[in-house]
Amino acid sequence: MKDDEFKLILHIKNLCFLVMDITKIFPNKEKALKDNFISECFKLLENTYSANIINLNDNRRRLVQEKILVNIYMIDFYLSVSYHYGFISSSNFKKVTNLLSEVSKTAKGWMKYGKS
């Protein structure tokens, strides 16, 4: 794997662990939100691995990379909802936001690099 792609995988793995940790305290009635939040993080990781193994010139790679952006936007949405309803603290919100921002920047750089 290239350095940027490796960094991206590491950031996403850290994001998965962080989201699993902070959602442990979600109320039982919010199981769907918790499950979707965690699931979207794992989909992000899966799509990143998939895009990384597809040939650079393959159109499928671009489609999977677009799914990565959708995963990032959905994680951001679940994060916002969780914070809005008080299921996560402001410090955890900042931690996830900062990590998600790194994931987003790294992913977009990787995609831009792949276009050239």
CB contact set of 38 (below 8 Å; sequence gap of 6+): 16, 19, 20, 23
Position 110 pLDDT exceeds 80: yes
Share above pLDDT 70 across residues of the chain, in percent, rounded to a whole number: 91
The domain that holds 59 is classified in CATH as 1.20.1440.60
Containing structural domain, residue 54 = 3-115
Query: So what's the pLDDT on residue 116?
Result: 45
**Number of separate domains in the chain:** 1
pLDDT in tens, 75-94: 999 999 999 999 999 999 99
Residue of 11, 82, 53, 14 whose CA lies nearest to 74: 82
Q: Is pLDDT above 90 for 2?
A: no
Cα separation of the two ends of the chain? 18
User: Which pLDDT value is given to residue 113?
Assistant: 76
Q: Which residues contact 93 (CB under 8 A, 6 or more apart)?
A: 79, 82, 83
Sign of the Cα pseudo-torsion (28, 29, 34, 39, in order): positive
Asked whether residue 41 carries a pLDDT value surpassing 50, the answer given is: yes
* Rounded Cα–Cα distance for residues 19 and 17 (Å): 6
pTM of the predicted protein model: 0.90
Residue-level pLDDT at 54: 79
Tell me what the pLDDT averaged over the chain comes to: 91
